[in-house]
Amino acid sequence: MIKIDRLTKRYGDPETGPLVLDSLSLQVATREIAAVVGPSGAGKSTLAQCTTLLERPTSGSIVVNGDELTGLGARELRLARRRIGTIFQSDGLLSRRTAAQNIALPLEYLGVTKAGVRARVGELLDRVGLLDRAHHYPHELSGGQRQRVGIARALALRPTVLLSDEATSGLDPDSTASIVALLAELRDELDLSILFITHEMETVLAVADTVARLDRGRIVESGALVDLLRDPDSELGATLRPHRAAQQAGAGEAPWRVQYGEDGVPADWLSVLAAELGSPVSLLGASIETVHGRVVGHATIGLRATDAPLTVAALRRLGLEGVPVSQPTAAPARARALETAS
Amino acid sequence: MTAARIAGPLVSVSVPPLEIPALVLPALVDTLVMVGIVMSIVVLLGVPLGALVHNLAPGGLVENAALHRPLSAVISIGRSLPFLILMASIMPFTRLITGTNIGIAAAVVPMAIAGIAFFTRIVENSLRGVPADLVRVSRAAGASPLQIVRTVQLGEAVPSIIGGLTINTIAMIEYSAIAGTIGAGGIGYVAVTYGYQRFDHGVMVATILTLVALVALVQFAGDRLVRVATPRARITRATTPRSIPA
Ligand SMILES: Nc1ncnc2c1ncn2[C@@H]1O[C@H](COP(=O)(O)OP(=O)(O)OP(=O)(O)O)[C@@H](O)[C@H]1O
Ligand SMILES: [Mg+2]
């Protein structure tokens, strides 16, 4: 479990250096995969580095497995780090060591016996599906295979916490999917807390329990993935939802964005809604998917009725959340605000 | 016999061609002994020193400007003095250590000092080429600075350091020839006493050919070692079949 409290990081001078993380708080519970997304330069990697104290926080507290890391000396910190597995975007494999030798590295640092290393490395290679690649050098492996070696190495010391910084960026969709699936399985098997940093929304949808959006060193939005997806006002939810081009609303119709707010929405909700509003409802676009076993649906509909509060109430009765949209592909409110400001 | 010839009268009597090997080969052995001893010392001290300088520098594992600056300055001085001047200027120190001013023992001291300064920079430069990511990964795995230096920095830099070692060894062969001029023995000594002072072209050519061959051999061996130490450059197994043009 990871508990980050009011973490502030300035590079260089602690008073005047650039503020990269601004009093950021974040928790990752046991068996939870917490995704952190955000634009380039938002501070995601800095957050990962501060979490293992590879970068020293300027202020704030970082508790991993109950240890306050910021108070530890070099020696205790090395011990604490052994309980945190880290996966980097660059696989970080040593080019002159085979896959097996790379995985063995953390065990060698710890002083595990040769026989112990061999047994554990075998287990790990088997777990990540690379037994037949044990004696291959990094340049003889594919990007996905190298990342698997990196994961095996991160797991070598049986950590309870895993930090993954852009572990799948640069991989093809198939490799990405299999790496993400592997992480989810490992979470279940090993009761890991995973801090999963990414900029790929599909991987967030596939694996995350919670999502936080980081922007300029602050968490601007966060919550459980399903809640965000079902919240029509959520910017993060809107970014995460797969974009399907909706038809333009017809003349005299106002487009609305509708989300499943709770389970058990009737299958014929469109006709029920039309009956309740006493005017026709046209379906402009829709999609339904299952996230963590819960149904997440969204739709764009065209309404002739003009009374917004009445419509919202009618939707609620059906278990739906809706908001009118000025255009079917409305830019997020904040982006618009920025445009006006400049 | 060699000694008698060297001590002989200073007239332009050329060494008969058949006797040149008997003159040059023992000198070659002396050169090899000198360079061998020097390079052992250079590697033994230059590697740790290079790693230390690299990691005391800003961004290093044990960053410390107060120690880095003087250490780096001393090495720079060692690097910047021409070898002949270095050799002459540390003569008293050499005598203190070896009890003599001439011969192999006396040559080894200035050569080792120049060589260590040279190799320290080579090692430092090689370590600088190791990606910072790799160091970070090992730090994250709980490695101590010494473990990181050994497994990551030096481990990854082995091919580059071997390449540097080749350059350094060749430089030491050159220095041994310079040291030969003050009576250290070896090929340089033969070249100076016979080729230069007695205008014996036969001996001169023989020493030049010997030196060229020696340097070429060192370079060849070094290049081979670099290849062996670089997995990417080795032909290990046919993992990818050659692509067939469509
Ligand atoms: N070692 C450093 N020294 C000074 N500034 C740094 C350092 N590392 C990062 N920064 C700055 O901190 C900011 C955040 O960088 P960071 O790498 O954490 O972003 P990120 O969210 O991971 O971006 P990306 O998605 O591109 O990886 C950037 O403005 C960057 O220039
Ligand atoms: Mg980053």
Report the alpha-carbon distance of residue A333 to residue A233 in Å, rounded: 10
Q: Tell which of B134, B135, B137 to mutate to test the A interface (max A CBs under 10 Å).
A: B137
- How many CB atoms within 10 Å of residue A56? 11
Is the domain covering A2-236 a CATH 3.30.420.40 domain?
Answer: no
What are residue A26's DSSP bridge partners?
Answer: A4
Distance from CA of B40 to the nearest CA of A (A): 24
Partner-chain contact B229 A96, CB within 8 Å: yes
Q: Tell which of A78, A82, A132 to mutate to test the B interface (max B CBs under 10 Å).
A: A78
Q: Does residue B8 sit within a domain?
A: no
Q: What pLDDT is attached to residue A243?
A: 60
- In three-state secondary structure terms, B239 is coil
Whether the per-residue pLDDT at B196 is higher than 70: the answer is yes
pLDDT, one tens digit for every residue, chain A (342 residues): 999 999 999 998 989 999 999 999 999 999 999 999 999 999 999 999 999 999 999 999 999 988 899 989 989 999 999 999 999 888 899 999 999 999 999 999 999 999 999 999 999 999 999 999 999 999 999 999 999 999 999 999 999 999 999 998 888 888 899 999 999 999 999 999 999 999 888 899 889 999 999 999 999 999 998 888 888 788 888 888 766 566 777 778 888 888 887 777 888 888 888 888 888 888 887 777 777 777 788 888 888 877 888 888 888 888 888 888 865 444 444 433 333 343
Q: What pLDDT is attached to residue B2?
A: 47
Q: What pLDDT is attached to residue A148?
A: 94
Q: Which residues belong to CATH 3.30.70.260 in chain A?
A: 241-341
Q: Is B53 exposed, middle or buried (0-12, 13-18, 19+ CB in 10 A)?
A: buried
Q: Which residues contact B193 (CB under 8 A, 6 or more apart)?
A: B6
Note the pLDDT tens digit of each residue in B1-55. 444 445 444 555 788 888 888 889 999 999 999 999 999 999 999 999 999 999 9
Mean pLDDT, chain B, whole residue set: 88
pTM of the model: 0.82
pLDDT band at residue B233 under the 50/70/90 scheme? confident
Which residue on chain A is closest to B135 by alpha carbon?
A92
Nearest to B92 by CA among B77, B76, B106: B106
In sequence order, which ranges of A82-172 are alpha helices (DSSP H)? 99-110, 114-127, 143-155
Q: Which residues contact B63 (CB under 8 A, 6 or more apart)?
A: B55, B56, B57
Residue A213 CB–ligand 1 contact under 6 Å: no
Nearest to A97 by CA among A144, A162, A146, A165: A146
For A241-341, CATH number?
A: 3.30.70.260
**DSSP string covering A24-44, please?**
EEEEE-TT-EEEEE--TTSSH
Residue position matching structure tokens 């290093």 = B60
Q: Which domain range does residue B223 map to?
A: 26-243
Q: Does B136 touch chain A (CB under 8 A)?
A: yes
Nearest to A69 by CA among A5, A9, A115, A146: A5
Nearest to A52 by CA among A75, A74, A69: A69
Q: Does residue B13 sit within a domain?
A: no
Nearest to A286 by CA among A258, A262, A267: A258
Ligand 1, atom 5, lies closest to the CA of A11
Q: What pLDDT is attached to residue A85?
A: 95
Q: What pLDDT is attached to residue A287?
A: 77
Whether the per-residue pLDDT at B230 is higher than 70: the answer is yes
Q: Does B94 touch chain A (CB under 8 A)?
A: no
Residue A20 CB–ligand 1 contact under 6 Å: yes
The number of domains in chain B is: 1
Q: What pLDDT is attached to residue B66?
A: 96
A interface with B, Cβ–Cβ < 8 A, is: 49, 52, 54, 78-79, 81-82, 84, 86, 88, 90, 92, 94-97, 105-106, 108-110, 136-137, 139-140, 153, 156-157
Q: What pLDDT is attached to residue A265?
A: 82
Q: Which residues belong to CATH 3.40.50.300 in chain A?
A: 2-236
Q: What pLDDT is attached to residue B11?
A: 52
CATH number at residue B40: 1.10.3720.10
Q: What pLDDT is attached to residue A334?
A: 41
Q: Does residue B19 sit within a domain?
A: no
Could you give the ipTM of this predicted complex?
Answer: 0.84
